[in-house]
């Protein structure tokens, strides 16, 4: 028994000494592992980005392998780019963490499966600053001592700077990113969810990024496929609908080419609140250095009408964007555009429209229709007015103009007319000039204004008819009475009558406009003198 007690006493002492030794070794390893790993992280990042790296906080635990966490990590641009004014870190990380085995302390490079990052901010300096980095020689910043398979980032931002004082930097909110195969010389595979500000919604993108261009980060390559679903347009004053878009993109961070489609099955303007299906297929270039988007080609379809457009969406600092588009409608349905923009129900007319127009939408918080201006020319064939009263007046005017007044009665056979002219639009009103309206037996030259709410309808001009005034009345004795009047309205072998069309959308009024005829006489007298 005394011998056994002696053996157990020595065993206990040995175990205790072993625990003390392990504790001392562990304490030494913890104290040494921190600086070693911190040095490896900084040296690896310096070598990867070829730049200065700073870190505020770094913690190591060896309880379950190697557990590392830290924060306040900053990676700067090359020195000459910093000297040019890019003083903010190119990459800043609020917090990061990763785990690996204890063997990682003794193996180089250390292998890390996943690094978790929160609060990542990537600041791409303006291109003009990056151009300062012209030194052919590269500083040596050490070797890559840590290899990472995957980086998972939450609550991140990508900010592409702009040296132009009139341009806001391009700011992307990145909700969640997973980057895989994070090597130094090959593209990184990523799966990202971006938050789009206007219209509000999440954009999901999958593709490849890199290799990272340490000297000029904005020139780093990026490719991918995106989906953008259920983006509500209603917060944009003046328009409504739910937007969905899919597409492909590729290029560099500061210049990305995009191809895709966008669908709004219930697109509407608040001037009418008549939802219309809108489908577009587009090719564009996003310039990250300015925040501008150049629409090289847009093929669109509104209702049953196809048209093309191209132009630019230009960023204006602190205000939003200017939208400039050139639109070409080769052969569309005028009723589709009227249904979208005008409250009148049903639309005032149907027909085949050809149009070329320049669209300008200035920045601001007003409704879209208040910021919208148009300028262009159009032609409409096969016009038919949906209001029977209006169409009857047109039909009867055509019969009288042909010298067939007896058949000029309500319910007469409908005629198809045509119209062409130039127009401008601002403040919700369409102003027409050189408006030529042609129908069997005559034509009308008019100028006027039409408000999109249908409340204002005022046109004046001249009607030229094949028939004389006396030939436009059915009564024989009235025709004889009007014969002396014919010479007063005769001009170049036809009859010219000043007319005015006014009233409202529901009650248009047609009548003589002798006031404008008198003005024409006065003007002619002035010219003669």
Residue-wise pLDDT for 275-299, tens only, equals: 999 999 999 998 766 668 899 999 9
Structurally, how many domains does the chain consist of?
A: 2
Residue 30 lies in a domain: yes
**Boundary (domain end) residue, out of 187, 204, 232:** 232
Residue 328 lies in a domain: no
Residue 14 lies in a domain: yes
E strands in 101-186: 110-124, 146-160, 170-180
Domain of 50, in residue numbers: 2-133+140-232
Give pTM, 2 decimals. Answer: 0.75
Residue-wise pLDDT for 393-451, tens only, equals: 888 888 888 888 888 888 888 888 898 999 898 877 888 888 898 889 888 888 888 77
Task: Report the distance separating Cα 221 and Cα 212, nearest Å.
Answer: 8
pLDDT score, position 143: 58
Return per-residue pLDDT of the chain as tens, 529 residues.
565 556 566 656 666 655 555 554 455 455 566 787 788 888 888 877 778 889 999 888 877 778 889 999 998 887 777 766 777 888 899 999 988 887 666 677 778 889 999 999 988 777 666 555 555 444 444 555 677 888 999 988 888 777 677 777 777 788 899 988 776 677 888 999 988 777 788 889 999 987 777 677 778 888 999 999 888 888 888 888 999 999 999 988 778 899 999 999 999 988 788 899 999 999 999 876 666 889 999 999 999 999 999 999 887 877 778 889 999 999 999 999 888 887 777 888 899 999 999 999 888 888 887 888 889 999 999 999 888 888 888 888 888 888 888 888 888 888 888 989 998 988 778 888 888 988 898 888 888 887 766 666 788 888 888 888 888 888 888 888 888 887 888 887 788 888 787 766 566 676 666 565 544 444 433 332 2
Taking alpha carbons only, the member of 469, 528, 455 closest to residue 498 is 469
Task: Report the distance separating Cα 405 and Cα 408, nearest Å.
Answer: 5
- Token readout for 187 is 């593209």
Nearest-5° angle of CA 509, CA 513, CA 516? Answer: 140
pLDDT score, position 421: 92
Task: Report the distance separating Cα 197 and Cα 195, nearest Å.
Answer: 6
Taking alpha carbons only, the member of 29, 72, 69 closest to residue 54 is 72
Residue 95 lies in a domain: yes
pLDDT score, position 351: 93
**3-class DSSP state of 216:** coil
pLDDT score, position 527: 31
**Boundary (domain end) residue, out of 232, 248, 283:** 232
Residue 294 lies in a domain: no
Question: How many CB atoms neighbour CB 185 within 10 A?
Answer: 7
Q: Which residue has the tokens 């300028």?
A: 375
Decide if 169 contacts 160 (C-beta within 8 A).
Answer: yes
pLDDT score, position 112: 83
Taking alpha carbons only, the member of 114, 204, 196 closest to residue 153 is 114
Decide if 68 contacts 58 (C-beta within 8 A).
Answer: yes
What burial letters (b/e) apply to 244-279, b meaning 16+ CB within 10 Å? Answer: ebebebebbbbbbbbebebbbeebbbebbebbbebb
Taking alpha carbons only, the member of 369, 370, 373 closest to residue 360 is 373
Catalogue the long-range contacts made by 424-428 (C-beta closer than 8 Å, 24 or more residues apart). Answer: 424/373, 424/374, 424/375, 425/372, 425/373, 425/374, 425/375, 426/372, 426/373, 426/374, 427/370, 428/271, 428/369, 428/370, 428/452, 428/453
* Polymer length of the chain: 529
**Boundary (domain end) residue, out of 206, 232, 258:** 232
SS3 percent helix, strand, coil of the chain, rounded to 5, is 25, 50, 25
């Amino acid at each position: 028994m005394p011998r056994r007690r002696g053996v157990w006493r020595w065993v206990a002492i040995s175990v205790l000494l072993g625990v003390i030794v392990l504790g001392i070794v562990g304490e030494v390893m913890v104290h040494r592992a921190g600086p070693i790993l911190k040095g490896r992280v900084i040296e690896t990042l310096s070598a990867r980005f070829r730049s200065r790296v700073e870190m505020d906080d770094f913690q190591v635990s060896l309880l379950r392998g190697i557990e590392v966490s830290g924060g306040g990590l900053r990676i700067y641009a090359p020195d000459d780019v910093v000297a040019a004014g890019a003083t903010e870190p190119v990459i800043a990380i609020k917090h990061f963490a990763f785990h690996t085995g204890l063997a990682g302390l003794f193996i180089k490079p250390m292998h890390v499966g996943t690094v978790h990052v929160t609060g990542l901010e990537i600041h791409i300096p303006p291109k003009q600053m990056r151009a300062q980095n012209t030194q052919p020689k590269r500083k040596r910043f050490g070797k890559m001592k840590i290899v990472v398979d995957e980086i998972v980032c939450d609550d991140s931002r990508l900010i592409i700077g702009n040296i132009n004082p009139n341009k806001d930097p391009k700011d992307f909110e990145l909700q969640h990113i997973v980057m895989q195969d994070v090597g130094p010389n090959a593209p990184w595979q990523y799966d990202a969810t971006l938050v789009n500000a206007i219209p509000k919604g999440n954009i999901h993108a999958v593709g490849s990024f890199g290799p990272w261009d340490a000297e000029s980060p904005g020139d780093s390559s990026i490719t991918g496929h995106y989906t953008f679903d259920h983006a509500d347009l209603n917060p944009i004053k003046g328009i409504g609908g739910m937007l969905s878009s899919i597409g492909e993109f590729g290029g560099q961070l500061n210049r990305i080419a995009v191809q895709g489609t966008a669908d709004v099955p219930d697109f509407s303007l608040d001037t009418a609140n008549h939802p219309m299906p809108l489908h577009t297929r587009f090719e564009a270039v996003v310039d990250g250095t300015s925040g501008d988007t150049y629409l090289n080609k847009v093929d669109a379809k509104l209702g049953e009408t196809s048209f093309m457009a191209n132009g630019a969406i230009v960023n204006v600092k602190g205000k939003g964007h200017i939208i400039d588009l050139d639109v070409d409608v080769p052969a569309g349905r005028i009723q589709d555009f009227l249904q979208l923009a005008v409250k009148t129900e049903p639309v005032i007319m149907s027909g085949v429209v050809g149009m070329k127009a320049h669209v300008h939408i200035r920045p601001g918080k007003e409704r879209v229709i208040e910021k919208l201006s148009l300028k262009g020319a159009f032609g409409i064939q096969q016009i038919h007015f949906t209001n029977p009263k209006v169409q009857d007046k047109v039909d009867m005017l055509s019969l009288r103009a042909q010298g067939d007044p007896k058949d000029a009665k309500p319910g007469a056979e409908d005629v198809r007319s045509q119209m062409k002219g130039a127009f401008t639009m601002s403040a919700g009103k369409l102003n027409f000039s050189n408006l030529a309206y042609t129908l069997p037996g005559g034509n009308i030259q008019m100028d006027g204004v039409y408000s999109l709410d249908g409340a204002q309808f005022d046109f004046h001009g001249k009607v030229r008819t094949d028939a004389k005034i006396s030939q436009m009345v059915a009564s024989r004795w009235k025709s004889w009475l009007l014969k002396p009047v014919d010479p007063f309205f005769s001009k170049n072998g036809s009859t010219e009558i000043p007319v005015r069309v006014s009233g409202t959308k529901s009650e248009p009024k047609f009548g003589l406009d002798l006031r404008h005829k008198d003005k024409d006489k006065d003007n002619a007298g002035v010219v003669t003198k």
